[in-house]
Amino acid sequence: MSPDVRLHAFSWLSRVVLLFTCLSNAFYIPGYSIRSYHDNENIPLLVNKVYSDHSQLQYAYFDLPFVCPPTGHRHHGSSHASGHSVPLNLGEVLRGDRVKTSDLEVDMGRDVDCQYLCDRVVGRRDMQWAQQLIEEEYVTDWILDNLPGATAFVTVDRSRKYYAAGFKMGYKDFDLATGKERYFYYNHYTLVVRWRPAPGRAGDNGAKVVVGFEVYPKSIAAGHRNETGCPLDVSGDQDPLALYLPGNSSYLREQFPDSSYIPDEVIDMDDGATMTIPYTYSVYFREDQEVEWANRWDLYFSDQAESKFTHWLAILNSLTISGILGAICIVIWGRTMQGDVKGRGDGVLEEARLRIGKRTDKKKSTSGILEKISETGPDDDLSSDEESLEEVSGWKLLHGDVFRPPPYGGLLAPLVGSGMQLVFVIVGLLSLSCAGIINPSWRGGFWSVGIGLFVFAGGFSGYFSGRVYKTFGGQNWSKNTMMTALLFPGLLFALVFVLNLFCWAQASSTALPFSTLLGLACLWLLIQLPLVHLGSYYGYHRSPAWEHPTRTNTIPRQIPAQAWYSKHQIGLILGAGLVSFAVLFIELIFVFKSLYLDKSSFYYVFGFLSIISALLSITIAETVIITTYIQLCAENYHWWWQSFFVGGSSGLWIFVYSVWYYATRLHIEGFVSSLLFFSYSALACAVYSLATGTIGFLTAYMFVCRIYGDVKVD
């Protein structure tokens, strides 16, 4: 094996070792700079957005017409007035964050029993939007000292407390006065800030750090308030604030002159009716010596202890499947390598075929066993002809066609290049997440780093695409380079842009600002595209094509009739993809739960995911080896595209699982939300299939080169 192939194999081995050496429960590094506060020092409270498990649409908090708008007041010690937009990284913008400073004043160590915020007058349409958000169980995201405002829960036995990020906007219940179903809105917020002395010298000087931020919302009716605007008794039982406006227009009374009840469904017009929502809040500081600042995020990972056994079960399941396939590969390797390939060459194969043909003619011309014995000699075994025939049957007959360039190789090369780019991104993200560099406390860090890796990995994309294209005998280098630089990124950008139009129409913060789209286009066209050209130039002009161990015949060999198991390649591809999907399935449950079913939790077990990913790569390589060997034994040399499809076919099963998850587990409502779910699910599956398909292609290429002789690559 040439040094280049050895180096490539060593690179992959080192990546696998790196993934396995990561701790299974590694999820974040607490940080490098602890922010501490002294008594009465202002702690900025930031408002972000509202989001729901039942919708893919998010809305910026200050865009809601029924919340208190920013007054522009500047807190003491603060450099920014309320309503000031906090600078965000690219990942935060992509995930729909819109962080701004608020009017809520939180000073370290100073309790506030009640503070009036504002009276918000809303009309019927604004009230109906608030009802809709409560119906879809939207939660509010506030931030204090980089901690999301949490809803606190305790286990049934009260032995452990855990957090869910965000707090609900209201609830739906029956109005005791009317006996009808009503929506009740939370308009008083009790903030509990948990602190402890800062570590080191800062703590000795009286500095404190925040280790918890809890929000307890409450619905309080507009009446019975004192001169400051606060309820007379905040902590006592109060009538809740119902989002309800009776009809008061003369038009409705004309339509129902003899009725004392007007149906709610006809009161849906902007008739000028309004209601006032008073907003107040309370702040309490509580010392908590049990939580270290470095572990303050642990309460947000509520299912850590309960799910660890399931994660290990997923690893055991993956090891079992991979082990069974590995045993099959060992059998295949033994059959092909025990004396079959040693010294094999084109001349030997051709000579053997001619010798068998001559012996067959001689057997036809003889009339008895004596003539056969005299011809072959008394020491020759009568079964030697059958053994010779077996030597050059099956996959060995394809030595002159197995490396024939595939059809549409000009498309396969850019796909392989883009796949290598994605493999680099995935390995980088998993490694950084496993090491704790990318963690929940770094908002948007996963997306920011992912886009950065994707852009700068354009050089890898161009290099592998150019070298594969040169191996296929391609001549139009510039066309291949442009396809690599524009095909996958262009389709990705076009899909995001089209989906963004729907989000814009819904006035959702999920929509990317035009400046962000322009910035992404600049990253693509001004940075990645030149890197792709540079990598492609080096791979095509400065690096030799991969040399094959056998020469390709001028005339293609006719492929014989295929057996049932190799004739229907779609079934073979889907079956192999189902095996790979079985490796990923259990861990996929946790990923989907975090992404769709419980957005208030965080997926953090990247150590487990890294191990599963490594086992998945091994399983894909094994399934590709088995299916490629089956195809070659059937004397079918069109293995290039099949290996790519076999490697990426599990992405189709993941999409099928997404459809099932949507139909049985999620309660997403609305056309736009459903469109976003299926579009982004299909996009994620396509990214996955490109990466795993590339792994399958390279595995099949190395396997075929090895069984037909040593790969000669510089």
Residue 206 CA: distances (Å) to CA of 192, 220, 475: 20, 37, 72
Q: The tokens of 96 are what?
A: 């729909």
Q: What is the reported pLDDT for 13? A: 38
Distance CA 164, CA 172 (A): 20
User: Which residues, 6 or more positions from 342, have their beta carbon under 8 angstroms from its beta carbon?
Assistant: none
Q: What is the pTM of this model?
A: 0.84
pLDDT band, residue 343 (cuts 50/70/90): very low
pLDDT per position as a tens digit, 260-304: 445 555 555 556 788 999 999 999 999 999 989 988 988 888 655
Same domain membership, residue 432 and residue 289: no
C-beta of residue 579 within 8 angstroms of C-beta of residue 323: no
pLDDT the model gives residue 372: 39
Range of the domain at 189: 36-255+264-300
Residues 226 and 212 in one domain: yes
The beta strands (E) that lie in 22-137 are given as 45-51, 59-60, 100-101, 112-123
Q: Do 501 and 579 fall within a single domain?
A: no
Read off the pLDDT of each residue in 109-115 and give the average, rounded to a whole number: 94
Residue 566 pLDDT: 65
Q: Is 372 among the domain residues?
A: no
pLDDT the model gives residue 687: 96
Query: What was the pLDDT predicted at 349?
Result: 46
Task: Say if residue 252's pLDDT is above 70.
Answer: no
Nearest to 591, CA basis, from 494, 446, 693: 446
Is residue 210 located within the same domain as residue 226?
Answer: yes
641 in the same domain as 503 = no
Question: What confidence score (pLDDT) does residue 255 get?
Answer: 55
Residue with tokens 């940080």: 31
Same domain, 294 and 308: no
Residue 357 maps to a domain: no
Mean pLDDT within 144-157:
88
Q: Using 50, 70 and 90 to split pLDDT, how confident is the model at 374? A: very low
Judgement on whether residues 292 and 319 belong to the same structural domain of the protein:
no
* DSSP state letters, 301-312: -TTHHHHHHHHH
Two tokens at 626?
Answer: 């088995």
Residue 346 inside a domain? The answer is no
Q: Are both 538 and 591 inside the same structural domain?
A: no
Looking at the structure, tell me whether residues 104 and 220 fall in a common domain.
Answer: yes
Alpha carbons 509 and 516: distance in angstroms, whole number: 13
Average pLDDT over residues 697-705: 93
| Domain end point (choices 479, 514, 547) | 547
CA distance 513 to 253: 45
Name the band, by pLDDT with cuts 50, 70 and 90, for residue 179: confident
pLDDT at 390 over 60: no
Q: Please give the Cα distance from 231 to 216 (Å, whole number).
A: 16
Q: Is the pLDDT of residue 18 over 70?
A: no
Alpha-carbon distance of 291 to 226, in angstroms, equals: 38
Q: Residues with Cβ < 8 Å from 223, sequence gap 6 or more?
A: 239
180 shares its domain with 43: yes
Kindly tell me the sign of the dihedral angle through the C-alpha atoms of 603, 605, 607, 611. Answer: negative
**Between the CA atoms of 670, 671, 674 and 680, what dihedral angle is there, to the nearest 10 degrees?**
-130
Indicate whether 536 and 589 sit together in one domain: no
Q: Letter for the amino acid at 139?
A: V
Q: What span, in angstroms and rounded, lies between the C-alpha atoms of 640 and 646?
A: 10
Could you report the per-residue pLDDT of 121-143, keeping only the tens digit for each?
A: 999 999 999 999 999 999 999 99
Out of 242-251, 463-472, 598-607, which region has the weakest mean confidence (pLDDT)?
A: 242-251
The pLDDT tens digits of the residues spanning 33-83 come to: 689 999 999 999 999 999 998 999 999 999 999 999 999 988 887 788 899
Is 90 exceeded by the pLDDT of residue 640? yes
Gap between the terminal Cα atoms of the chain: 10
**pLDDT for the residue numbered 311:** 83
User: Both 612 and 532 in a single domain?
Assistant: no
For the stretch 406-415, pLDDT in tens is 999 999 999 9
| Greater pLDDT, 291 or 340 | 291
Q: Which amino acid is at 579?
A: V
pLDDT at position 3: 39
Q: Is residue 10 part of a domain?
A: no
What mean pLDDT value characterizes the chain?
83
**What is the predicted pLDDT for the residue at 227?**
86
Buried b / exposed e over 665-692, threshold 16 CB at 10 Å, is ebebeeebbeebbebbbeeebbbbbbbb
Query: Could you read off the pLDDT of 499-549 as tens digits, one per residue?
Result: 999 999 999 999 999 999 999 999 999 999 999 999 999 999 988 888 888
Per-residue pLDDT tens over the stretch 230-239: 988 888 888 8
Residue 58 near residue 122 (C-beta atoms within 8 A)? no
Q: In sequence order, what are the residues at sequence separation of 6 or more whose Cβ sits closer than 8 angstroms to the Cβ of residue 439?
A: 27, 28, 29, 297, 433, 445, 604
Q: Is residue 360 part of a domain?
A: no
Per the structure, the count of domains in the chain is 3
Position 364 in a domain: no
- Residue 469 confidence (pLDDT): 95
**Cα(191)–Cα(193) distance, integer angstroms:** 6
SS (HEC) of 512-578: CCHHHHHHHHHHHHHHHHHHHHHHHHHHHHHCCCCECCCCCCCCCCCCCCCCHHHHCHHHHHHHHHH
**Rg of the chain on CA atoms, in Å:** 33
What average pLDDT score do residues 378-405 get?
61
Instruction: Report yes or no on 488 lying in a domain.
Output: yes
Q: Say which residues have a Cβ less than 8 Å from residue 468's Cβ, sequence separation at least 6.
A: 412, 413, 416, 417
Question: Residue 16: its pLDDT value, please?
Answer: 38
334 and 630 in contact (C-beta within 8 Å)? no
Please tell me the total number of residues recorded for the chain in this structure.
714
Q: Give a yes or no: residue 564 inside a domain.
A: no
Calculate mean pLDDT across residues 370-385. 41
- Is the pLDDT at 712 greater than 50, yes or no? no
